[in-house]
Every structure is written in C-alpha cells, then in structure tokens.
Structure 1
Amino acid sequence: MNTATRLTFCLISSLSAALLPAGAARADEVMKKDGILVNAAGMTVYTFDKDTAGSGASACNGPCSDNWPAVAPSASVTAPYSVITREDGARQLAYQGKPLYLFKKDTKPGDRNGDNFKDIWHVVKN
C-alpha cells in the first residue's frame, strides 16, 4: 500500500468515526472476560430489567439511550446472540434475547459504574 493510499484510508476512517453521533455504538464483537461480557474495547456490557427477553424490542429509547447506548451487532451473529431492531430503526445486539447496552459513565475498560444502577441495570454475567 503506498503512502497516498494509506493517508486516504486513515482520513476516511477518521472522518467516519467523527461523523458518528455522540454515544452511537459501532458494530462490535462481544466477548467474555473475567466472568462478564465486554465489547472489543473491554467496556462492560449491560442488560435492562425493563426489556423482555425474546420480545425483539428495546425499552430504552429517547433520553434513556443517551446514557445507555445500544451495542451494535457485528456482521455475523450466532446464538446465543441475536439482533433486534430499535424504535429508531437501528440494529442492536441481544444476548439470550435481551438487548445489550454500554453505559455512558463507564470511561475506561473494566469500569462497572452501571451495575445495579437504579436496581434495573446489570452487568451481563457469563
């Protein structure tokens, strides 16, 4: 790859990231680490008690989703993961039928600031 091609790729990648709305989730792989689910960046993944497993819907929309951004599915999803469609038409990754979220106040890998938040948000233990 020549220098001009590399620079073009870097510029496009940077612009793509910059154009995502604040809190927007990028497609991500979710994995088990230390007994919980985290995304590829090591950020803790949560579920919401108001979501019903298998309903295909998220109960966290509007202002709720500003603090609890949805985990976007990668191109290939296999059981026990699935994909739901949110109210706004965005796709969201689900685990055992429950939509998955990140927490805005988790700022570094390993943070679990959202665990038991208001007794309705929980780290996904695996």
Structure 2
Amino acid sequence: MKHIAQSWKALLVTAALTLPSMAFADEPAMMKGGMMVDHKGMTVYTFDKDEGGKSMCNGDCAKNWPPMMAPAGAKAEGKFTPIKRDDGTMQWAYDGKPLYTFVKDEKPGDMKGDKMKDVWHVMHESQK
C-alpha cells in the first residue's frame, strides 16, 4: 500500500510540473523561421478577400483552408483576437487578419498554399 501511495504522489508531482506546459498558449500561433506556424508547426495563411476582421472563407473554402479555430470565450493579448465566423464559431485573427491552415500541407514546413490564386499568403514576420 505504501508503494501505491508513493507512486500516486510521484504521478501527481509529474502532472503538476507537466500540465502548465500543456495548457493552451497565450498566442494561438508563433513565428518560426520567419513565418507564422500553429502549435503543430503547420504553416499559417491569410486570405486577401477577408476584410474588416471578417472571414470570407466559408463552406467549401473552409474545408480546403481550415480556419484556426478559437475556443468559445477565448481571450488573447496583443494582436491576436478571436473573431466570430458566419456559423457562429470563433476563429483566431492576427492584427485583424483571420488565420488559416491549408489542407494540402502534409507536414510542418510545407507551404503549398502560398500565393495560391494570388489571394492566399503565408503569414510572414514582416507582416507581424
């Protein structure tokens, strides 16, 4: 029984040390190698047709360009803000620009959507 209690204590201490690093970061994306990536390392894009902090990518567009979804009641500091989509869900925006990933990017570092139809662009540090 003493061994179980000690193991349980060790588990609790490990969890207490690990959980803060697993919590949702204050910022939904970060800069890596001069471009913005999500927390999985996938490239983040902006869409030229978005205006006034509103996403114009819905329906089939959002299937190909998944919005970076924000949890309900999300709050962020700095230039990251949650915006409401047409379907009522929340999406992250940076400096008023809604953020997306691209369905054809298969692994971190892929940028297959950059300059797609001249309206999709990788979010670069120069835009930050």
Instruction: Tell me if both proteins adopt one fold, taking TM over 0.5 as the criterion.
Output: yes
Flag the structure with higher helix content: 2
Task: After the TM superposition, list the runs of 4 or more consecutive aligned residues in structure 1 that deviate by more than 3 angstroms.
Answer: none
Deviations 1:62-113 (A, max 9, x none): 1100000100236441111111100011100001101000000001000000
Distance 1:60 1:66 in 2: 9
RMSD: 1.7
Structure 2 spans left out of the alignment, 5+ residues = 1-6, 9-26
Q: After superposition, where does 1:25-36 map in structure 2 within 5 Å?
A: 29-36=28-35
Under a length normalisation based on structure 2, what TM-score does the superposition of the two structures give? Answer: 0.72
Give 1:71's aligned residue.
68
What is the letter of the counterpart of residue 30 of structure 1? A
Identity %: 51
Structure 1 spans left out of the alignment, 5+ residues = 3-27
Greater Rg over alpha carbons, structure = 2
Q: After superposition, where does 1:86-105 map in structure 2 within 5 Å?
A: 86-105=85-104
Contact 2:28 2:92 in 1 (8 A): no
Residue 61 of structure 2 is aligned to residue 56 of structure 1: no
The count of corresponding residues between Structure 1 and Structure 2 is 99
What is the letter of the counterpart of residue 105 of structure 1? K
